[in-house]
Amino acid sequence: MIDERTKKVLQTIIKHCNIINDTKKFFGNNYSEFENNSIYQNAILTPVTQIGELVKKLPLDFRTKYNQIPWRNIAGMRDIVVHNYETIDKVILWNVADEETDKIKEFCKKIINEVI
């Protein structure tokens, strides 16, 4: 069972995953649109950064128990975005937005639903 604080963190991660999906729908769900549009890129960077920050708020025992999600990599992506903005690989960022956020979202939903 997870505590209320962890549940809220997971709910907020889901919210930011939804923002990424909404952004992709708004701008067009394809890499070429993303690659050539700095506004689109920034609109994805913000929720990716937020998800990484939220992951750092998850208790270590939670991240250890549910280690099928690469929590450390997610937090690390946040650090790269914040501290090395100019070196961000657009392909990696797109893959995170296009493939990984849905996995994270579904996982968080599953954990929340197990608690209820």
5-50 pLDDT per residue, tens: 999 999 999 999 999 999 999 999 999 999 999 999 999 999 999 9
Look at residue 83 in the predicted model and tell me its pLDDT: 61
66-91 pLDDT per residue, tens: 999 999 888 877 767 666 666 678 88
Catalytic residue among 16, 63, 72, 83: 83
pLDDT higher than threshold 60 for residue 93: yes
Residue 64 banded pLDDT, cuts 50, 70, 90: very high
> Has 78 been annotated as catalytic?
yes
Look at residue 86 in the predicted model and tell me its pLDDT: 67
Look at residue 15 in the predicted model and tell me its pLDDT: 98
Residues with Cβ within 8 Å of residue 80, at least 6 apart in sequence: 87, 88
pTM, whole model, 2 decimals? 0.90
Catalytic residue among 5, 16, 72, 78: 78
Under 8 Å between Cβ of 105 and 18: yes
